[in-house]
Amino acid sequence: MTERYCNILAAVDGSPQAHQALMEAVEAARRNNARLYIAQVINSSGLLLNRATPIAQIIEEEKKAALKLLEEEVAGVDYYNKQMITCVGSPKKALCFDLPEVYKIDLIYIGATGKGKLERMLVGSTTDYVVNNAPCDVMVVR
């Protein structure tokens, strides 16, 4: 485990566990004087369900909703060195590989659960995937 973290990623999805993970990530960023990245990944696999609407329009609407959620989450965060990130793709891949590589993440905070029970069974847990595949330390928050 790294003694000092420089770049911390907090994954948010609107769930209570993700919010708690964000609050703990803020405290870890303060303790380490680290850069805090707050990310929401728009799951691209669910975007193709509505085929009557052009995909570009769907992505734009999802990005606006994601940015609104991020702004709501960050509204209570009193930390100077933070950056909000929204991206489209596989949450598992983005949180585990893409974002850590681009932003040199050395610690990921993620909620223990975020989806409903049925969806977790069908798709698999993003948290489980990140814990088992991330290239850096992962803190799971309940």
Contact status, residue 25 vs residue 105, Cβ threshold 8 Å: no
**Token match 């959620």: residue?**
69
Q: Which fold has domain 7-141?
A: Rossmann fold (3.40.50)
Quick one: pLDDT at residue 23?
A: 94
Quick one: pLDDT at residue 104?
A: 98
Quick one: pLDDT at residue 123?
A: 46
Residue pLDDT tens, the chain, 142 long: 557 999 999 999 888 899 999 999 999 999 999 999 999 998 887 666 656 677 778 788 888 888 888 888 888 788 889 999 999 999 999 999 999 999 999 999 999 876 555 555 544 589 999 999 999 999 999 8
Measure the CA–CA gap between 48 and 58, rounded to whole angstroms.
Answer: 9
CA 79 to chain centre: 17
Contact status, residue 96 vs residue 41, Cβ threshold 8 Å: no
3-state secondary structure (DSSP) of residue 96: helix
Measure the CA–CA gap between 15 and 21, rounded to whole angstroms.
Answer: 10
